[in-house]
Amino acid sequence: MSVSKQFSLVDQEKSDQETPAVDRGAELLAAATAVFAQKGFHDTKVSDIVTAAGVAQGTFYLYFKGKNDVFFRLISGCCERILDQLGKASAIQRQATTAEEAHQNSFASLVGIFRMLESEQSVLKLILADPGGVDPAIDKMLAGLRETMVGQVRQNLQAGIDAGYLRDLNPTIVAEAVVGMIYHLSFERFVRGRDLGVDLEELAEEVVTFERHGIFKSPPAR
């Protein structure tokens, strides 16, 4: 064997060793996301997922117990990323000491949340399309996600009341209303595909302005 060929083989072996291993689990999750979005959970088979991923069916079971398991992993991963974003936004919001600071922080936080939801659009469709009854663990997880969102908004509202820039309102009821509004807008935008005639920044500004000023030109007479 020539010296040049020996070096060529060594270089090839080194290149193969340096090539990162294919993440089959991630490939299967991506394929499952696409198939679930196209066919729905109930009409999807494991064979559909492995065909989309281009792997053998046995490979699937190296990573997942079954269809419910991969569905749970998809939704739980997305929920974790949503909660992480919400936690960061909530921490920033509670630092506000004036209405103007709260407005600016709320706007920046909501834009970040909407952009993150847009990047998670495929999985978000699975979450907001009401997959109830698929798995009790998923139902419990989604209920926990909403409860956490409401709890964080309620804490933010209470912080604003304590700081004096929010009126004396019922933080529990208002938190439910705010989260309901964000849920609905997210469903319309990212699941049904309605842009509502505005970009994400304009959407966030309308929500925050509504929270701050309501819909009346002046406070109604009592």
For residues 101 and 86, give the distance between their C-alpha atoms in angstroms, rounded to a whole number. Answer: 18
Contacting residues for 87 by C-beta, under 8 A, at least 6 apart: 152
Between 43 and 205, residue with greater pLDDT: 205
Between 154 and 92, residue with greater pLDDT: 154
Q: What is the pTM of this model?
A: 0.78
Confidence at 133, pLDDT banded by 50, 70, 90: low
pLDDT of the residue at 7: 39
pLDDT, tens digit, 9 for 90 and up, residues 116-131: 989 888 888 887 765 5
Q: Which domains does the chain have, with CATH numbers?
A: 23-64 (1.10.10.60), 68-213 (1.10.357.10)
pLDDT of the residue at 132: 57
- Whether residue 5 has pLDDT greater than 50: no
- Whether residue 75 has pLDDT greater than 50: yes
- In the block, residue with structure tokens 């994400």: 200
CA trace torsion 10, 12, 13, 16 (10° rounding): 160
